[in-house]
């Protein structure tokens, strides 16, 4: 599936290749909000619960594990994806 992250004023399409659902929700539970859970996993708030992202990549880039993506793009945490 695809989502869009606005980074430095420009839309960046992100492809989520592997994810799972969880009942956990960030305190800032707005759908699309990107956050790290207590285990340090990259999550995105959904309409019910959240998605725990396992593999993700920016359009035109190689897919990577979520931890590596967040290390390379720390500004994604706290962003609202659409």
What pLDDT digit, counting tens, does each position of 23-46 carry? 988 877 799 999 999 999 999 999
Average pLDDT over residues 51-64: 97
List residues bridging with 19 in a β-sheet: 53
Query: How far is it, in rounded angstroms, from Cα 35 to Cα 41?
Result: 8
Average pLDDT over residues 9-34: 93
Give the pLDDT score at 27: 77
Confidence (pTM) = 0.93
Residues 6+ apart with CB under 8 A from 39: none
Determine contact, residues 6/12, Cβ cutoff 8 Å.
yes
Q: What Rg do the C-alpha atoms of the chain give, in angstroms?
A: 11
């Amino acid at each position: 599936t695809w989502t869009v992250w606005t980074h430095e004023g420009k839309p960046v399409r992100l492809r989520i290749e592997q994810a799972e659902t969880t009942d956990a929700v960030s305190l800032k539970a707005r759908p699309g909000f990107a956050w790290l859970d207590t285990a340090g996993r990259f999550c995105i708030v959904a309409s019910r619960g959240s998605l725990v992202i396992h593999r993700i990549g920016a359009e035109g880039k190689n897919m990577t594990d979520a931890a590596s993506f967040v290390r390379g793009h720390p500004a994604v945490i706290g962003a609202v994806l659409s």
